[in-house]
Structure 1
Amino acid sequence: MLQKTGIALLTGASLAISACVTAAPPPQLAAEEPYLFEPRNGDRVEAFKGTFEVPENRADPNSRMITLGYVRFPSTNPNPGAPIVYLAGGPGGTGVGTAQGRRFPLFMKLRGVADVIAFDQRGTGLSNHLQDCETDLAYPLDKPLFEDAITALYQHAARQCKEFWAANDNDISAYNTLESARDLDDLRAALGAEKINLWSISYGTHLAMAAVKIMDERVDRIVMTGAEGLHQTVKLPKRTDEFYGRIQSAIDQDPAAKAVYPDIAAMMRRVHAKLDADPAVVEIEGEGGAPITLVFGKADMQLLSAFSSADPRNVAQVLALYLAVDARQYEPAAALLYRYLRSGTLELSPMSTAMDIASGISDDRLALVREQAKAGLVGSFLNFPMPHIKDALPELDLGEEFRSLPYSNTPTLLLTGMLDGRTYPDSQAEAVAGFSDVTQIYVENAGHNLFMSDPEIGERIFQFLSGEQVSEGTIVLPLPDFTAPLQN
C-alpha cells in the first residue's frame, strides 16, 4: 500500500451548518495503491485506487466509520492545479463507473490541468456499504397503471424496505446530500489539498451546491451541466410541457420530421385519451419465452416518457412509440414497458431513495406540482418515485434550510443543453441565481448528457479549469434525427 504524502488541512467549517453535528475525528490522509484502470473502450491507464474513512452519520456520536473510495488519475501537468473531483448524477451514479464509459477521454484530457478524481459518493460503487431492497410487491400485468395505485404501491414498498434496511443495520438517515457534501470536504483533506475543483452533472450539481454552503472557500472552480437546484429535486410539470415545445421547434426545422410529427403535444394527449377510454391489451413474450398478456394505459405511457426524456435521441424513440400506439400498434410499447417497468418485483436502492426523499420538496412547490400535473403531458412522473413516496419516510427530509438558495463567489462554468429533458434552461438559471461568477454556455440541440456531444465542450471545460477566460456563448450541434426507426 502506498500512503500519499502531504499535510491534511483540518477545518471546523463543515461542522457549522448544523448544531446537531457531533465532532468527528479529523480525516486521515487517504491510503492509495497503484491501480491499472481499464475503461470499456479497451484502453489501460496507470492510476491509483484510494480510500479514506468518514463517520456514516455525523449526527450520531456512536456512528460507525465507513470507507469511501475513488480512483485518482495523476496529472500530466508539471505544475498541476487543485484536484478535479467528478460528481456523478443520479443520485446513485458512480464516478468510477462514469470514467469507465464514454466520458473516459474527457477524464484523460483534464489530467492536463490537475489530478482527476473519479469519486464514488457514499452508497455507490467503491463506497457502498448498503443493500438493495427487493420487495415482494409487483405491478399487476392484467390492468393499466393509475397514479393513485402506483403511489400506494411504492409507499408500501418504501415502508417494507425501511424495515429491511433497519434489520440489516443500514442507517439510511445518513444518506443525504448534506452528509455527502461533508464527505467532499473530508476527501479534500484526505488528498492533502487546500482546495478542490468540482466537475458535476445533474444530481452531482445538486451536491456541488450543497458543498459550497459548507466549504465554498475551499472550492477553486466548479463545472456544472444540467444544474439541479437544492429545491428542484421535483421538477415543475409546466416546464416539462415547455420542453416538449422546444422539441417541436427542433422538429419543425426538419421538413421530413415535421411531416411525421406536426404536433407532438396533440399526439401525446390523443394517445392518453384513447388509452384512458380503452386500455391496450397485448400478448407479448414474457420471461423464458412464455406468452403473457399485458394491459397498459395513460400512466404507463407517461412513465415511459418521463424515464426517457433526458436526451433527444431517447425522446425520438418515445415519440416513435406514441406514433405506433396512435395507430393502434401496441406491441413495441408493451415490450418496452414489460422489460423496464412491469416485470419482476419492485426494488429500491437505499442511496438513491434516501437522497431524493431527504432533499425533498416544500409544501408550496408540492402544491404547484400537483396543480400543474393535472394538465401536464407526463403528469407528476418526471421524478418518479418522488414526490410519491416522500410521506413513507418523512423523517429523512432535511427541511427548508437545506433547500434554501446557495450563494457563492466561486468561478462557475454552466453548460446548458437546450433540449435537456431533465433540467430545463429556466430551471438551471434559477438554480445558480446565488452564484455571482457564472459563465454560461448554451448548447443548441444538446440534451442532458452533453459532455461528449462535441469536442468543443471538453475544450471549454479544459480552458476554464486551467484558469483561462472562457467566453459565454452558444455551441450549435446538428439537429437530432427524429425520424429514426424504433430500436429493439
Structure 2
Amino acid sequence: MKKNIYLIILFTGLLMAGCDQPEASPTPTLEAVEPTATVEPIPEPTLGPMGVFEEGDCPFSVPGDQTVECGFVVVPEDHENPDGPTIKLAVAVFKDQSDAHLPDPVIILSGGPGEKTVHNAPAITQAFAPIRQDRDLIIFDQRGVGLSEPALECPEVVQVSFELLDEPDTGIAMQESFDAVMACRDRLLSEGHNLSAYNTVQNAADVEAIRVALGYEQLNLWGGSYGSQLAQATMRDYPDGIRSTVIESVYPLEVSFVVDTNSTVPDAIMRLLATCTADEACDSAYPNLQEVLFEIIDRLNAEPVLVKVTNPLDGQSYDVLLSGDAVLGNLRVVLYLTPALPSVPQAIYDVYNGDYELMTQLTGLRFLFVDAVSRGTQYSVLCADDLIGRTIDEVFEARDAFPSQLVGQTDPALITEYSTFALCKMWGVDEADPWVKEPLVSDIPTLVLSGEFDPVTPPKFGKLVAGYLDNSFFFEMPGGGHSGESTTECALSITAAFIDDPTTAPDASCIAEMPGLVFDVPREVGDVILVPYTNDEVGVSGVVPAGWNEVSPGIFTRGNSVLDATALQIAIEPSMGAKELLVLLAEGYGLAEIPESTSERQANGLTWSLYAFEVQGVPRDLALAESDGGTLIVILRSETDERALLYEVVFLPIVDGLIPLQ
C-alpha cells in the first residue's frame, strides 16, 4: 500500500491531517525532577512598557461569524529607552460576542523563536476555540517576526537551503549556510536594524505593552515551545498582569536549546524505537528496529541516494540527497509532528528494503519549516539568551554519550567552525544578563503539558519548571511529540477547565483513556466494515467505515498518522446548489477546469452526479446530490493503487446510504 504524507484538502479552505489511535501504549515512568538551583533575586524592570494600538485592516479573510480587530501595537524598539525608535507588533484580536463575556483574554505566545503567526490567525482561532471560554483571543507576531514591522527575514538562508538539497559535501554545505547567515546579518545591519533589541526580555515587555495598549486588566497566557519560555519571562517580569498561564512543550529558562538538544533528541529517538519493540504488533512487523535503523544510516552515509522530493506547500519537486544523516534529520522532524509518529517504523523498514517513497515524503516535511520563522529574529534571540554560561565542549560531551548513528557523523572540526556558538560570535548582539537564566519562581496558577516523545522539550523539562511553581499542574500526554498534542480533545478539555478555574486541579481523567502511540502496521485494504452513522451537527445519516477516525464532524481519516492520508468527508450544504458548489470546490482544489461528471447514480430518491479528478497526482472521488435540505456531498481521497477497491467498498456504498436529516 502506497501512502501520501501531505495534508488533505477535503473541502474548500479546510486542511486536514490524520489523527489517532486505537490501543494504549504505556506512558514511560519518569523521575520527578526536583529544583536544585539556588535562585537569585531578579531585578525588576525599571519602567512599565509603553504601547499604542493603531487599528488597521486584517491581513486575512475574516470568517463571517467572527468580529476581529486588527492592527499594530507600536512599542519602543528598546523598552529601556521609551523615547527612542519604535517598532510595530502585528496584532489580531478575535472578539468574544457571547452574553457571558469575560474580561480576561487568552493571548497566544508562539514558538520558534520567530514563528510567524498572524497570517494564520483564523485557523489558530478555530483550533483553540474550546479554550477561549467566552473570552477574547489575542494573536500577535512577536517583534521582528512575520507581519510585524520590521520583520528580520533572511531570504539568503531560505534560498541556500534549497540550493544545497543535493550537495554531497557536508563541509561545503555548512560553509555556504554559514555564509548565508552572515550575508543576512550584513544586510540587516546596513538597513539600520538594532539586532540587540530582539530578545526575550524585550518580548516579555511587548506582551505587557499589548495588554496595556488593548485595555485589558489581566491576561491568560498560552505559550508553546519558545512561547513557553516567553511566558515564563513575562510571569517573572510582569506578574500583576497575568491571571493564569498554560505552557506546553516546555522550554525552561535555565536550559540551552543549542546545547541540550544534543542529548534530548537522540534520547527521544531511542525511546520511540523502544516503544515499537515493546509493542507486540509493531515488533512483529518491524523486528530489531534499532539495528535496522543503524544499518540504513551507515549504508546511506556510505552511499547516499538521490530522491525526488515534493514541497507540500507549493507542489514543486526537488532533487534531494538522502544520506544517513538526512534520515536522522527526518526522525527529528517527525518527532516534532505528533501525527507522523506512527509511521516511523514502516519508513525505516521500507528504506531497508530499498523502497524510499515513505522516507522521501518525510524528507518533504522539512519544507514546512524552511520559511516558518523570521530567522533574523531567531538568531538574535538565541544569541542573546541561549548560550549564556554554556560552551561548545558541552555539545561534544553530549554527543559522545550516544552511538554515532543518533548524533550524526559530521566532523567535529566543522561543528566547531560553523556551530551556533561560532554564528553568535559573528551575529553581533549583546548577550543578556546572566539572571535571565535563573529558574522562574512564581505563584501564578500554571498548567504544564508535555508530550511523551518530545525531542527538544521532553517531559522532564516540564517537571523541572513545574517544580518551582507553587500553583502548578503537570500532565504528560501519551504518544505526543513536540507539537500537536495541545490541540487534542483531551488536552483542550484540560486546558479549558484550567482557564475556567486556574486555582483548582482540572479534570484530567481523559488522559487514562488516550491510546498513546499506535504504530501503523500492514493491513488488507479491503477489510472495511460499514456501520450506521447519524450526526445532527452535520445534518446527515448513512454509513461510514468502522474504525476510521472522525477528526471533525463528518470528516474521517483511516490511519493513525498523516502518512496514511486516505480520508472521507460527508456533508450537506444548505445554501448552495450542486453546480455552484462544484465551482467552489474546483477553485479550492486549484483545478484548471471544472470537472465533468463521469456518471449519475440513483439512490434513496436522490440523483447523484459522480466526479473523479486528481489534486497533485492524488485521486479524489466526489459525489453531489441536491435534496430539499441542500446539496449532499461525499468526497473520498485515496492512493492511486487503492482507488479502485476503495471506490467499490467505501465510496459507492456511502453514496447509496446517505440522506439528509429532516
Pairwise same-fold verdict (TM > 0.5): yes
Task: Give 5+ residue unaligned stretches, structure 1.
Answer: 1-14
> Max radius of gyration: which structure?
2
1:117 and 2:138 aligned: yes
Aligned to 2:518: 480
1:397 and 2:435 aligned: no
Aligned-pair distance for 1:339? 8.4
8 A contact 1:89–1:202 mirrored in 2:
yes
Alignment of 1:75-90 (within 5 A): 75=96, 76=98, 78=100, 80-90=102-112
Aligned to 1:184: 207
Aligned-pair distance for 1:255? 3.1
What's the CA shift string for 1:36-89, capped at 9, x where partnerless?
9747xx764122224321011335577421122322222325351422211112
Aligned to 1:247: 272
Aligned to 2:241: 218
What's the CA shift string for 1:378-403, capped at 9, x where partnerless?
4279xx98567333325343253222
Alignment of 1:43-192 (within 5 A): 44-59=65-80, 63-75=84-96, 76=98, 78=100, 80-101=102-123, 103-135=124-156, 137=160, 140=164, 143-144=167-168, 146=170, 150-192=173-215
Q: 3-state SS of the aligned residue for 1:226?
A: strand
Q: 1:274 aligns with which of 270, 295, 299?
A: 299
8 A contact 1:311–1:448 mirrored in 2:
yes
Q: 3-state SS of the aligned residue for 2:335?
A: coil
Aligned-pair distance for 1:163? 0.5
Q: 3-state SS of the aligned residue for 1:482?
A: coil
Aligned-pair distance for 1:325? 2.8
Aligned to 1:324: 350
Residue 353 of structure 1 aligns to which amino acid in structure 2? Y
Structure that is richer in strand per residue: 2
Of 332-341 and 193-202, more deviation after overlay is shown by 332-341
Of 71-80 and 286-295, more deviation after overlay is shown by 286-295
8 A contact 1:47–1:71 mirrored in 2:
yes
Q: 3-state SS of the aligned residue for 2:425?
A: helix
Aligned to 1:315: 341
Distance 1:292 1:49 in 2: 38
Aligned-residue sequence identity (percent) comes to 20
1:409 and 2:409 aligned: no
8 A contact 2:128–2:487 mirrored in 1:
no
Aligned residues: 460
1:301 and 2:323 aligned: no
8 A contact 1:311–1:420 mirrored in 2:
no
Aligned to 2:458: 424
Of 216-225 and 447-456, more deviation after overlay is shown by 447-456
Q: Against the structure 1 CA distance between its residues 208 and 473, is the aligned structure 2 distance closer, same or farther, given a 3 Å change threshold?
A: same
Aligned-pair distance for 1:335? 7.2
Aligned to 1:11: none
Residue 407 of structure 2 aligns to which amino acid in structure 1? G
Residue 177 of structure 2 aligns to which amino acid in structure 1? Y
Q: Against the structure 1 CA distance between its residues 43 and 371, is the aligned structure 2 distance closer, same or farther, given a 3 Å change threshold?
A: farther
Distance 1:336 1:432 in 2: 34
What's the CA shift string for 1:118-149, capped at 9, x where partnerless?
22211233424125223375655665353x65
Q: Against the structure 1 CA distance between its residues 387 and 443, is the aligned structure 2 distance closer, same or farther, given a 3 Å change threshold?
A: farther
Aligned to 2:490: 456
8 A contact 1:142–1:295 mirrored in 2:
yes
Aligned to 2:399: 373
Of 189-198 and 267-276, more deviation after overlay is shown by 267-276
8 A contact 1:69–1:127 mirrored in 2:
yes
8 A contact 1:151–1:389 mirrored in 2:
no
Aligned-pair distance for 1:365? 6.3
